[in-house]
Amino acid sequence: MKRRDFLKSTTLASGAFLIPSFLKPLEAMASADMTGYKNLVIIQLSGGNDGLNTIIPYGNDIYYQKRNTIAIKKPEIVTLNDMQGLNPNLSALKEIYDQGWMSVINSVGYPNPDRSHFRSMDIWQTGSEANQFLTTGWIGRYLDANCAVNKDPYTAVEVDDTLSLAMKGSKMKGIAVQNPAKLYQSTREPFFKELVDEHYSTHLNEDNLGYLYKTMIETYSSANYIQQTSKTYNTTAQYPQTAFAKQLKSVAKFINSGLKTRVYYVSLSGFDTHTQQQNQQGRQLKIYGDAVAAFVKDLKQAGKLDDTLVMTFSEFGRRVEQNASNGTDHGTANNVMIFGGKLKKAGIYNNAPNLAQLDNGDLKYEVDFRDVYATLLDKWLNVNNSQILNRNFAGLNFV
């Protein structure tokens, strides 16, 4: 055993002493061997990120024809290959890309695309068809399918103050944690604690009241587990001073401390750029790129990058042609970015978007987003995707 590993496991073991006696079973978990424990991190860009100005198809003249005032000029682009390159605000990702830790999947979407934010986000979060309404999220159904093994809410953690639909199953739900210390404190307020203590040992019914108490007790013990485990890890890596970077820093702290969480969820807003797009999107992309670069390096440093996969998506891309207000309107297919230490196919995964063959001015999707999910479910989370996506998807080969 390497010295560093030894030190890590002893801190974990001593951390376990802080756990109250009635939560004993967790102690065993905290000191379990964490090698090869795989994490999935989902980053949601809300508002419909303009993928064409993110991973820019600079090698295609149509891009410059359709985007008179908002196209990114060739000399500014951070080239990835002879067709596509990064928006200069994402320059921090170049290093990550060059290391083989980044993959770009072009033209991801679904049949009969919906251009309203809330509906398309609903479709991405539930993994439904365009004309189907599901009341559970795809990660939530993953939790349901796995509830015999992963029975705690912290199996899926959203770093935010509320929980997204994506994280809600019918039996199981993830947990939203913006700040572990704060969550811990509020569950330890005497009144809350009293309610939990009284019901901890009693048998809970299957009815709604039983469900409420079950949720409360799970919150109580998860808050403890997350706080006690994560505080054993001291982050030394440098992160930018943004709220989003702070959230990713929390995710890294959770992963590096050995939290037994399979899925993390983080969102960044502000991508609905109908007017003055260049400044607005540039600002958000810089926040995104700088934070993700810091995050990936932090995980690499801690030896966790090989066990982590990051997926970034947005509810839709934008129209190929810009509008009259130096912005772009709602479109359809978009790119999905993947990060990880063990990518089977790093770099640009498939052909750049076809700007010549459009569907009423919008990109035609070439990869169904559920094929991306299927890949993550089958090859990373080790469950059969048809159980979660309601039909079988072939999946891709990026991992």
Partner 1 sequence: MDSKKKLAHLYARAGFGLRFADLQQVDHLTVKQTTNRLFKASDEVVPLKVVVTNSTYKDADDALTKKMFLQQQRQLQKDLNIAWVTQMSKGNAQLREKMTLFWHNHFACRTQNPWYAQQLNNLHREHAFGNFRTMLLQVSQTPAMLQFLNNQQNKKGHPNENFARELMELFTIGRGNYTEQDIKESARAFTGWGFNNNGEFVERNFLHDAGPKTFMGKTGNFTGADIIDTLLQKKETARFICSKLYKYLVNDTPDAAHVNTMADVFYNGNYEIAPVLELIFTADWFYEDKNIGNLIKSPVDFIVGLNRQFYVDYKNPDVLLQFQRTLGQVLFNPPNVAGWPGGKSWIDSSSLMYRIKIPSTVLNDGVIDFAGKTDPEDEAALAAMPNINARKDVNTPAQSQPNWDEFLAAIPPGTSKTAIAHLLLATPLSNNLMQMINKATNTKAMAIELVSTPEYQLC
- Summarize as ranges the residues that interact with partner 1 (CB under 8 A): 46-48, 116-119, 121-122, 131, 133, 135, 153, 160-165, 167-168, 170, 173-176, 178, 182-183, 186-187, 191-192, 194-195, 198-199, 207-209, 211-213, 215-216, 218-219, 222, 242-244, 267, 269-276, 280, 283-284, 287, 315, 325
Q: Rounded distance, CA 198 to CA 200, Å?
A: 6
| Min separation Cβ 325 and partner 1, Å | 6
Beta carbon nearer to partner 1, 115 or 342: 115
Nearest to 337 by CA among 314, 367, 307, 316: 314
Nearest to 50 by CA among 63, 65, 60: 63
Beta carbon nearer to partner 1, 28 or 243: 243
| Min separation Cβ 360 and partner 1, Å | 12
Beta carbon nearer to partner 1, 27 or 218: 218
CB 100 within 8 A of CB 89: no
| Min separation Cβ 145 and partner 1, Å | 18
Beta carbon nearer to partner 1, 9 or 326: 326
Beta carbon nearer to partner 1, 64 or 192: 192
Beta carbon nearer to partner 1, 117 or 300: 117
| Min separation Cβ 263 and partner 1, Å | 15
CA quadruple 65, 69, 70, 74: dihedral sign: positive
Distances (CA, A) of 311 to 208, 339, 369: 35, 7, 11
| Min separation Cβ 28 and partner 1, Å | 23
Residue 349 backbone zone (phi > 0: left; psi -120 to 50: alpha; other: beta)? alpha
Beta carbon nearer to partner 1, 76 or 198: 198
| Min separation Cβ 223 and partner 1, Å | 8
The 10 Å Cβ neighbour count of residue 391 is 9
| Min separation Cβ 270 and partner 1, Å | 5
Beta carbon nearer to partner 1, 213 or 393: 213
Q: Rounded distance, CA 260 to CA 255, Å?
A: 8
20-58 as b/e: b if 16+ CB within 10 A: eeeeeebbeebbeebeebbbbbbbbbbbbbbbbbbbbbb
Beta carbon nearer to partner 1, 88 or 140: 140
Alpha helices in the chain (DSSP H): 3-15, 25-30, 61-66, 92-98, 117-126, 138-145, 180-187, 190-200, 208-230, 243-256, 277-301, 369-375, 385-389
Vertex 140: Cα angle to 35 and 250 (nearest 5): 50
